[in-house]
Amino acid sequence: MESKGVKIKKLVKIYPTSKGKEFRAVDDVSIDIEPGEFVTLLGPSGCGKTTTLRMIAGFETPTSGDIYIGEDRINDLPPNKRDSSMVFQSYALFPHYNVYDNIAYGLKIRRMNKSLIKEKVENIIELVGLKDMENRFPDQLSGGQQQRVALARALIMEPKVLLFDEPLSNLDAKLRNYMRTEIRKIQKKVNITAIYVTHDQSEAMSLSDRIIIMNKGRIEQIGTPIEIYYRPKNEFVADFIGIANIINVNIESVESGQGLLNIFGEKIWIPYNGEIGKRKAIIRPEAIQIGKKGLISGEIVLSTFMGSYQDYVININGMDIKIQDANPQEKEKFTEGEEAYISFNTRHVHII
């Protein structure tokens, strides 16, 4: 299927507050999404994800800004004329219709002929894995199956853009992981552009071509999962995605792509070509090695066996540093109260 990109330019949504003031729920958001791309809007509750998605779908009117699907500016089109379909967290199925009729509903409204509807519904049922469930009613389906019906209902309208608002939040953890791979598979198979709202970072990491990190109505960073994880632009992004040690450091000098880093009083050269001065270093817990020798010493204040890694907190100059030490069965473990040393590959120090 030919897919279309989505462009959003300087999108703003202001809600009036009870005190007569303005609240900027979405504040100057610009996004350029490629045809066939899978993009997630990720951020804490209340940061404006749903409002952004609803403006794209046409359920909410922007205060200002422009929205394009392909070449067409769609601000003034009603939702059913927009080439987009939305999949909701609540599924929004008709309880008194069976699976077949729930999926066929949108086409019946469009007065498509019966045999063509039948052909399309059967294709979609196959695609989303609901064969032999045609006659069941929503209350005879598991949560995962209901979500497949909701997805089928969106897909059958052959939209150019699929919009998802936290579609898996009502499922238990195992099923959520399974359904997200299913969604990704189906999205790739039909080659449709997808915009997916979630507050769950692992969902965003596993699904996305690119992640858009939102905070207080604004975009903090747009990037691939790898860029967002290893090169967060600021403290908010570093802290929101994964676990981050955020350490005050001083860059004392910079020469030919190397910076002299002062970290806990130790001086080391790291790959760097930014400015000198007081900065913050981001080091992920799995990038730190722990041992009886190393760069900087501290006292172990927490040592927890987590199965695939040993979880340590080591106190260095009054600051707690988190370490995830992989393959703990291969190593001698440190216990609380012991002295230990940390070291790290200088390539894994990211300065913000």
Residues of this chain that interact with Mg ion (CB under 5 A) are 50
Single-letter code of the amino acid located at 140 = Q
Question: Which of residues 54 and 350 has its CB atom nearest to Mg ion in the complex?
Answer: 54
Size of the site for ligand ADP (CB under 6 A): 10
Question: Which of residues 60 and 286 has its CB atom nearest to ligand ADP in the complex?
Answer: 60
Q: Report the partner that residue 48 touches, choosing among ligand ADP, Mg ion, none (CB closer than 5 to 8 A by kind).
A: ligand ADP
Q: How far is the CB of 211 from ligand ADP (least distance, A)?
A: 14
**Two tokens at 206?**
């596993």
Q: Report the partner that residue 47 touches, choosing among Mg ion, ligand ADP, none (CB closer than 5 to 8 A by kind).
A: ligand ADP
What distance lies between CA 294 and its chain's CA centroid? 36
Query: According to CB under 6 A, which residues from 15 to 74 bind ligand ADP?
Result: 15, 25, 43, 45-51
Yes or no: say if 298 and 316 are a contact pair by the CB < 8 Å rule: yes
Q: How far is the CB of 91 from ligand ADP (least distance, A)?
A: 18
Q: Report the partner that residue 25 touches, choosing among ligand ADP, Mg ion, none (CB closer than 5 to 8 A by kind).
A: ligand ADP
Question: Which of residues 50 and 201 has its CB atom nearest to ligand ADP in the complex?
Answer: 50
What residue spans of the chain are helical by DSSP H? 49-57, 99-109, 114-128, 143-155, 173-190, 201-207, 225-230, 235-240
**Contact flags string 175-194 toward ligand ADP, x per CB under 6 A:** --------------------
Q: Could you give the dihedral angle defined by the CA atoms of residues 162, 165, 167 and 173, in that order, rounded to the nearest 10 degrees?
A: 130
Yes or no: say if 2 and 67 are a contact pair by the CB < 8 Å rule: no
Question: Which of residues 43 and 328 has its CB atom nearest to ligand ADP in the complex?
Answer: 43
Question: Which of residues 47 and 74 has its CB atom nearest to ligand ADP in the complex?
Answer: 47
Which position's Cβ is nearest Mg ion?
50
Q: How far is the CB of 14 from ligand ADP (least distance, A)?
A: 9
Question: Which of residues 15 and 178 has its CB atom nearest to ligand ADP in the complex?
Answer: 15
For the chain, report the end-to-end CA distance as a whole number of angstroms: 42
What are the distances in angstroms from CA 250 to CA 96, 193, 315, 349?
65, 44, 19, 13
Yes or no: say if 179 and 147 are a contact pair by the CB < 8 Å rule: yes
Tell me how many degrees the CA angle 176-182-183 measures, rounded to the nearest 5.
90
* Residue 111, Ramachandran bin (φ over 0: left; ψ between -120 and 50: alpha; else beta): left
Q: Report the partner that residue 340 touches, choosing among ligand ADP, Mg ion, none (CB closer than 5 to 8 A by kind).
A: none
Question: Which of residues 42 and 121 has its CB atom nearest to ligand ADP in the complex?
Answer: 42
Are β-strands 161-165 and 218-223 bridged in parallel, bridged antiparallel, or unpaired? unpaired
Single-letter code of the amino acid located at 308 = S
What are the distances in angstroms from CA 13 to CA 27, 218, 226?
7, 11, 30
Q: How far is the CB of 196 from ligand ADP (least distance, A)?
A: 12
Binding site for ligand ADP (CB under 6 A): 15, 25, 43, 45-51
